[in-house]
Amino acid sequence: MIQIKTSLSKAVVDFFSKEFQLEIKSPDLQLTRKEFKGQFTVVVFPYTQTTRLAPPVLAQKMGEFLQAEIQEIEGFNVVKGFLNIELKPAFWRNVLVDLSTCELDLPFKEEAPLVIEYSSPNTNKPLHLGHIRNNLLGHSIAQIISATGQKVVKVQIINDRGIHICKSMHAWMKSGKEETPESSGLKGDKLVGKYYVEFDRIYKAEVADLVANGMPEEEAKKEAKSMREAQELLILWEKGDVATLALWSKMNAWVYDGFNETYASLGVSFDKNYYESETYLLGKEAIEVGLSKGVFYKKEDGSVWIDLTEDGLDEKLLLRKDGTSVYITQDIGTAIQRYKDFGLKGMVYTVGNEQEYHFKVLFLILKKLGYDWAEKLYHLSYGMVNLPSGRMKSREGTVVDADDLLQEMVDQSKKISEELGKTDGLQESDKERLYRQIGHAALKYFMLKVDPIKNMLFNPEESIDFNGNTGPFIQYAFARISALKRKAEPLNLPANYDIEPDDAEVELIHTLSQYTDSLQLAADQMNPGIIANTLFELTKLYNSWYQGHTVLNIENLELSSFRLALSSQVAKTIEHGMNLLGIECPTRM
């Protein structure tokens, strides 16, 4: 495909040179719109003034020249100032041969890796719906960029310290009665999250009492007993108090076990974990360096700040007056450590759009500290995800739990699959696996098909639809092709590409040939939705072709073999793309 595009572009340049003695740069070569015949379109409007020819006249003249120069051209048509070029069926037959023999992944380049951060949970609660979008987005972007030949390192920063975990610790100390995951039957992350909600309940009651007794609300929020005690725990932690550290380690270990179960269910993984409890100290070292360089300044109360008003931003706190760090402190230290660990071609932070200002400040601070690699940092900002029931509030215990949602998707998949007879004839173990594959595909595809920058509404019922723009719709096409291949096995059909494809097959091969372009575009824009919607369009086109073309049970075995080879290439592309989205493709549905 690259070769024919190059040939077309060169021929257009030659056309203007020979016919008009004009030197032009690369012409505007586009894919032909579906409503017109052809595969490639040259836009001639930019050249009408210099050639003094009307657009249709210039396009006609160019088409005649190109057809005489390039033997692969079957014909052309002119629509106003657009020259639509149609390539010969034999050309597309050869494209299918090339596609069938090449790998869709590109070989790795010998260069520093791209570090991609995602997930980055707090250890005071289980993973929730927002974490699902974050994890699926970060993991898929890592898969997509890796498929283009760029080495990738997947990391997360676990926010394992701070006032949030101290709140859970405080509530457990006051009312936990030595409860553990084993004694309660709860996953560790759910148990700790239970006490985070309990702290908020107690805290709100204390604030209400203080306000009722005449204290201003803002003062009451600071003076509430539970909040003061939680802050004291944080100070004890930073001082290295043995008992505080022991409880902190125990409760965090519970959470990690719970997180790992959820990650395994989601199908995401990490190459390296960073912990805020370790990196915040690195951040403090960077603050000292910044103070010595005059990048930061210290106020009379001992707090450390940076003034970014000349850069169009605000003043930013870096260390509190008591010496404790804030979130940006550990982000500074972590970024520096990652550069030391990996060298970095760049670093991508997969974080919601509510943190856009935070990352502007972070990247600017690192630049002011003199790190030239700060230019290679990128915030992959994404919108909020909600359910039809509304927004989530974790401290109030109304979070949509990730584990519960995953199980709900499996249950919904089971219900719909059984109603449609998708599991008839399967053994029980195979059924359960299929329910999980379909349910998780529905969730992942629905989440990833939406442009990351957009807010989205996730509707579980809409996501499992075997006839819409969904994961199960694409999975079913793959399973259908797998069934064809199983039926064809006894026939021992050799792969055959000597058949001249018809118009529908040319369109299908042309669409297949564009997959690698979509892959590169998805990597460049860090948008898995490009892959998702490319697969959807391919699947729709294949289903339409399949309705009018019998693959097996025809007398012409060479034709049958060709159609099977074409179907196999569609399946190969679907499986590759779905894998980049973290989705399994079952061979039976």
Q: How many residues does the chain have?
A: 589
Distance between CA 337 and CA 84 in Å, rounded?
53
CB atoms closer than 10 angstroms to residue 32 = 20
CB-based contact 160:123 (threshold 8 Å): yes
Radius of gyration of the chain (CA): 30
For residue 449, give the DSSP letter: S
Output the DSSP codes for 176-198. Answer: -TT--HHHH---HHHHHHHHHHH
CB-based contact 322:235 (threshold 8 Å): yes
The pLDDT score that the predictor gives to residue 326 is 85
Q: At what angle do helices 503-513 and 515-525 cross, to 10 degrees?
A: 30
Burial class, 204, CB count within 10 angstroms (exposed 0-12 / middle 13-18 / buried 19+)? middle
CB atoms closer than 10 angstroms to residue 61 = 18
CA 516 to chain centre: 17
The pLDDT score that the predictor gives to residue 420 is 84
Distance between CA 120 and CA 87 in Å, rounded?
50
Distance between CA 137 and CA 70 in Å, rounded?
43
Distance between CA 255 and CA 169 in Å, rounded?
12
Q: pLDDT tens, 392-438?
A: 444 444 568 999 999 999 999 999 988 888 788 889 999 999 999 99
| Six-digit token string for 179 | 């409860």
Q: Which of 500, 512, 510 is nearest to 570 (CA)?
A: 512
Beta strand pairing status for 346-352 and 114-117? parallel
Q: Greatest CA span in the chain, whole angstroms?
A: 93
The pLDDT score that the predictor gives to residue 494 is 82
The pLDDT score that the predictor gives to residue 324 is 77
Distance between CA 447 and CA 441 in Å, rounded?
10
The pLDDT score that the predictor gives to residue 240 is 94
Distance between CA 66 and CA 73 in Å, rounded?
8
Measured between its terminal Cα atoms, the distance across the chain in Å is 34
pTM: 0.91
CB atoms closer than 10 angstroms to residue 66 = 21
The pLDDT score that the predictor gives to residue 394 is 40
Identify the structural domains of the chain with CATH numbers, from first to last: 2-87 (3.30.1360.70), 118-396 (3.40.50.620), 403-580 (1.10.730.10)
Half-sphere exposure of 160 (CA within 13 A, CB side): 22
Q: pLDDT tens, 298-342?
A: 999 999 999 999 999 999 999 999 887 888 998 999 999 999 999
| Six-digit token string for 251 | 């409760």
Distance between CA 409 and CA 404 in Å, rounded?
9
The pLDDT score that the predictor gives to residue 389 is 67
CB-based contact 255:192 (threshold 8 Å): yes
Burial class, 261, CB count within 10 angstroms (exposed 0-12 / middle 13-18 / buried 19+)? middle
Render the burial of 480-504: b for 16+ CB within 10 Å, e for the rest: bbbebeeebeeeebeeebebebeee
Per-residue model confidence as pLDDT tens for the chain (589 residues): 678 999 999 999 999 999 999 999 889 999 999 899 999 999 999 999 999 999 999 999 999 999 999 999 999 999 999 999 999 999 999 999 999 999 999 888 888 999 999 999 999 989 999 899 999 999 999 999 999 999 999 999 999 988 999 999 999 999 989 999 999 999 999 999 999 999 999 999 999 999 999 999 999 999 999 999 999 999 999 899 999 999 999 999 999 999 999 999 999 999 999 998 888 788 888 999 999 999 999 999 999 999 999 999 999 999 999 887 888 998 999 999 999 999 888 999 999 999 999 999 999 999 999 999 999 999 999 999 887 765 444 444 456 899 999 999 999 999 998 888 878 888 999 999 999 999 999 999 999 999 999 999 988 888 988 889 999 999 999 999 999 999 999 988 888 888 999 999 999 999 999 999 999 999 999 999 999 999 999 999 999 999 999 999 899 999 999 999 999 999 999 999 999 999 999 999 8
CB-based contact 129:447 (threshold 8 Å): no
| Six-digit token string for 240 | 């290295």
